[in-house]
Amino acid sequence: MKKFVTIVSLSFLVMFSSLFASTSNAEAAVNSRLLIAEAKKLIGTPYRYGGTTPKGFDCSGFVYYTHKKIGKILPRTSKQMYQKGKTVHKANLRPGDLVFFNTSKSKKGVSHVAIYIGSNQIIHAVSKGVKIDSLNNSYWKSRYVGAKRL
């Protein structure tokens, strides 16, 4: 009888914990959809160095602002953002992941951040304003540094 109770208890525990795991995955998917919806509302917003509002964004200001709109507070710069989250291989990107690039000819490390939106596309603030680009674009492909999942 003791074995049966232990097995039933363990089965219940596994079932109960998997319920929470799937809830967090579902919550992450909802947050990603909300994040991308907020980001897409800002397409066409002009670029502004140091900008963190819809009057104008730089890359990290855009990522900071969109995350703040869904209740997540991130560090302010792309370099600081790159220190957060879990590293994700490019082949395993999911919508909502942050994608990092080095656009500086003279410096090493991270100098640009974008939000992955699926289908090999990113949304970000560049000199032409907030827009969607392909990760397959030769410019971004050659400057790719890595990705993080928050």
| C-alpha to C-alpha distance for 42 and 12, rounded to whole angstroms | 46
Where residue 24 falls among pLDDT bands split at 50, 70, 90? Answer: low
**pLDDT tens for residues 126-139?**
999 999 999 999 99
Catalytic residue among 124, 125, 140, 147: 124
Residue 124 annotated in active site: yes
Residue 45 annotated in active site: no
| C-alpha to C-alpha distance for 100 and 113, rounded to whole angstroms | 5
pTM of the model: 0.83
Find, among 84, 118, 125, the residue nearest to 103 by Cα.
125
Q: How confident is the model at residue 28, as a pLDDT?
A: 74
The fold adopted by the segment(s) 2-149 is: endopeptidase fold (from Nostoc punctiforme) (3.90.1720)
Catalytic residue among 56, 110, 111, 112: 112
The enclosing H or E element of 114 equals: strand 112-118
- Under 8 Å between Cβ of 47 and 128: yes
How many of the other CB atoms lie within 10 Å of CB of 62? 28
| C-alpha to C-alpha distance for 63 and 100, rounded to whole angstroms | 11
**pLDDT tens for residues 57-107?**
999 999 999 999 999 999 999 999 999 999 999 999 999 999 999 999 778
Residue 114 annotated in active site: no
Q: How confident is the model at residue 89, as a pLDDT?
A: 97
Catalytic residue among 35, 59, 114, 123: 59
Q: Which alpha helices (DSSP H) does the chain contain, by range?
A: 2-41, 59-69, 78-82, 138-143
